[in-house]
């Protein structure tokens, strides 16, 4: 696979690409659940969450009003978390528990930037590249970006619930491209998911780059892989930040 010689736009996935939850999702769920008497192990909960998340339908809804979309987002997550504890043991007070967890993940201080995020975005911005986000995250993302102080880098943020399509569908990439007025061949997308990010971007006509920070993926001649965001600068022939 080859990259555009001079890409005009670079899109990024959000969670687990630019930033990550402090600790792990399972640890957060378990911390809040303990006061409701839940005593299961962290690994059991983490595995149940991964299964429930993978089985959930795409976060795309047949409504257009922003408030209705936000209500649908919340219900989507309620179903995911409910399925987690349906598998491992439901408990009294689940609705209150969900309210607390949902609110926690909306807080910027629940997340932290990867060490290479800010320097890479700064370098790309300095070289005149337009930057955007394409994510299946919900509308809580906007406040998280502001709180982490990286919102200023992005000229567009395209999320599935408002785009009417979710990765890996080509339609969400098309929505993002329309915001910048560029053809797919002049854009890149960087993300940590092989299927939802790298392969989906290539299928939509963009250059796709798989960010594999922990070495979980097998290299492929059809994909370009990097191990940190600063590697992106090397691929583009830009100097590394000092």
- Quick: pLDDT tens for 57-70: 999 999 999 999 99
Residue 225 has pLDDT above 90, yes or no: yes
Residue 217 has pLDDT above 80, yes or no: no
Cβ distance 14 to 141 under 8 Å? Answer: yes
Q: Are residues 64 and 84 in the same domain?
A: yes
Please state, as a whole number, how many other Cβ atoms lie within 10 Å of the Cβ of residue 52.
Answer: 19
Place of tokens 């998280």: 144
**Among positive and negative, which fits the CA dihedral 67, 73, 77, 80?**
positive
**pLDDT tens across 27-60, in order?**
999 999 999 999 988 888 889 999 999 999 999 9
Residue 239 has pLDDT above 80, yes or no: no
Place of tokens 């370098």: 123
Residue-range definition of the domain harbouring residue 37 = 22-109
Cβ distance 114 to 12 under 8 Å? Answer: no
Residue 202 forms part of a structural domain: yes
Q: Are residues 147 and 160 in the same domain?
A: yes
Domain boundary among 109, 130, 163: 109
Q: How many domains does the chain have?
A: 2
Residue 99 forms part of a structural domain: yes
Q: Are residues 146 and 197 in the same domain?
A: yes
């Amino acid at each position: 696979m080859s990259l555009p010689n001079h890409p005009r736009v670079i899109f990024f996935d959000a969670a687990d690409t630019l930033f990550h939850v402090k600790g792990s999702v399972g640890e957060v769920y378990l911390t809040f659940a303990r006061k409701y008497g839940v005593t299961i192990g962290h690994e059991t909960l983490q595995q149940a969450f991964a299964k429930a998340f993978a089985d959930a339908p795409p976060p795309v809804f047949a409504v257009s009003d922003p408030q209705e979309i936000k209500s649908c987002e919340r219900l989507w997550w309620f179903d995911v978390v409910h399925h987690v504890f349906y598998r491992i043991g439901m408990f009294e007070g689940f609705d209150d528990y969900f309210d607390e967890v949902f609110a926690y993940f909306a807080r910027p201080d629940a997340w932290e930037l990867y060490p290479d995020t800010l320097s890479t975005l700064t370098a790309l911005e300095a070289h005149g590249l337009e930057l955007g986000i394409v994510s299946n995250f919900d509308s809580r993302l906007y406040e998280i970006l502001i709180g982490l102080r990286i919102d200023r880098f992005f000229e567009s943020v395209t999320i599935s619930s408002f785009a009417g399509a979710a990765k890996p569908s080509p339609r969400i990439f098309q929505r993002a491209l329309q915001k910048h007025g560029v053809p797919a061949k002049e854009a890149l997308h960087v993300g940590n998911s092989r299927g939802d990010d790298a392969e989906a971007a290539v299928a939509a006509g963009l250059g796709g780059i798989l960010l594999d920070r922990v070495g979980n993926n097998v290299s492929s001649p059809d994909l370009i892989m990097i191990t940190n965001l600063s590697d992106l600068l090397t691929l583009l022939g830009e100097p590394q930040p000092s």
